[in-house]
Amino acid sequence: MDEMNFNGKSGVALFITDDCPPCEAVVPVHDKFSKIYGKDINFVTVNIKEKPDLAEKYKIRSMPTLMFMKDGNEACSRLGGYIETDEFKGRIENVLGGKCPEMSRQKVTADVIILGAGPAGLSAAIYTARSKLYTVVIDRALPGGQVATTYTVENYAGTDGPIEGPALMENMVRQAESFGAEIFELKEVTGIDFSGRIRHVSTEDTDYYAKAVIIATGAQPRHLAVDRADELQGKGVHYCATCDGALYQGAEILVVGGGNSAVEEAVNLAKFASGITLVNLHDSFTATKAGQNALFRNKRINVAWNSEIVELIGENFLEKVVIKNRKSGKRKTIAAEGIFTFIGMVPRTELFKDSVDMDEKGYILTDENMETSIPGVYACGDVRRKNIRQIANAVGDGAIAAIFAEKYISSLED
């Protein structure tokens, strides 16, 4: 039994933490209501620094959260972020009147909502949270974006030598959280409405509201365009070397592509595979010289220039691959258990198709301030139309988007 039980009676629990502006705003309101309604409903305030177990038990993931109890069960929907006094009062009356016995969707009101916790989104969060804007970051996966699937990063400034992708991203997460950014992980954004002055973003169980939105949903790997590629995905056809590379110990594999990702990941995969054929459409690579040197030095890797994959053979698993030389027209069948493909990315922008302007490939158009065609809605990182897509400029974009989002919000207050 804990203080949330309220002896089976109704109650309002406010979860707060230190250094959190929206918490400071709601505490006096909570106190005021406890004087008005205290006879009929119990009020408690829980500082999660003192009672982490309680927050864990009720899965309280962001501060502040207001939670309502009726007859020992959670009732109505939780409120979070900036909590409006009228809405707070309405909830209390609904609980007392038995108007919302079932727990329903949670509502969170923030200053800024950031969609995606890759380098661009986290960089933006560091800036907005540090400026004391209440910042919510939502990611369908765990924070980290594409970098969380990268073995090592060698070209991001300030890392004192090569750093593992996941470690770099853990640092960014910690930095954003240290300023008070709230990261909601494993929540896919499935709905958006940017038409009103207050923007609305929804996930399966929560509605988020804020004045400014920063889109940082990044990109995902382009799929191999060969018959049966989708059918054989996970059965030989792969897009993430850090995920599945280790299952190809001692195997013959193919890597497809010619850019930095293909060249670097081929070198990483050579730690597992017995032999690698790198299939490249052209007669040169676009990867950096440093990457190419490492590749050419590796005896386990050979390159099929001017070539493309034309057929995948295998019953339940990939067994053989037919490649074709585009110059000579010659076909060759190679025994291979796996193919790792790095042929570029496609932006994750389906959701925004009808709201912000995009180019024909689905990249979002922004001005130099990262603002999209809708004022107060920004885009940064790999989702934007631009020529170079790297961590360094994703982080740069994020900083710019955040600074202009902040200016936008203060212009509304004037």
Q: How far is the CB of 389 from ligand FAD (least distance, A)?
A: 4
The single residue listed with the structure tokens 């790297």 is: 390
202, 216 Cβ separation under 8 angstroms: no
Decide if residue 335 touches other proteins (CB under 8 A): no
| SS3 state at 238 | strand
Binding segment for other proteins among 91-99, 121-129, 245-253, 256-264 (CB under 8 A)? Answer: 245-253
Q: How wide is the angle at C-alpha 396 spanned by C-alphas 20 and 368, nearest 5°? A: 105
- Work out the end-to-end distance of the chain between its first and last CA atoms, rounded to an integer number of angstroms: 49
Half-sphere exposure of 265 (CA within 13 A, CB side): 30
Both structure tokens of 224: 């191999």
Annotated catalytic residue 71: no
Give all strands of the β-sheet with 199-202 in edge-to-edge order: 42-47, 11-16, 65-70, 73-81, 106-109, 206-210, 199-202, 191-193
Contact 258, 285 (CB under 8 A): yes
Distance CA 370, CA 212 (A): 12
* In the complex, least distance from residue 352 CB atom to ligand FAD, rounded to whole angstroms: 10
**Cβ closest to ligand FAD, residue 141 vs residue 167:** 141
The answer to whether residue 244 is catalytic is yes
Check 243, 283, 359, 367 and give the catalytic one: 243
Indicate whether 206 belongs to the interface with ligand FAD (CB under 6 A).
Answer: no
Shorter beta-carbon distance to other proteins: residue 105 or 330: 105
* Least distance between ligand FAD and beta carbon 184 (Å): 9
Length, in residues, of the chain: 414
100 a catalytic residue = no
Binding partner selected for residue 249 from ligand FAD, other proteins, none, CB under the kind-specific 5 to 8 Å limit: other proteins
Site for ligand FAD in 170-199 (CB under 6 A): 188-189
Q: In the numeric block, which tokens belong to residue 27? A: 């505490």
- Asked if residue 3 binds ligand FAD (CB under 6 A), the reply is no
Question: How far is Cα 286 from Cα 263, in angstroms, rounded to an integer?
Answer: 9
Q: Applying CB under 8 A, which of residues 12, 13, 133, 148 lies at the interface with other proteins? A: 148
- Interaction site with other proteins (CB under 8 A): 59, 141-142, 144, 148-149, 151, 166, 186, 233-236, 238, 240, 242-249, 316-317, 337-338
Residues with a known catalytic role: 240, 243-244
Binding site for ligand FAD (CB under 6 A): 115-121, 138-141, 145-147, 149-150, 153, 155-156, 188-189, 216-219, 261, 265, 348, 351, 381-382, 389-392, 394
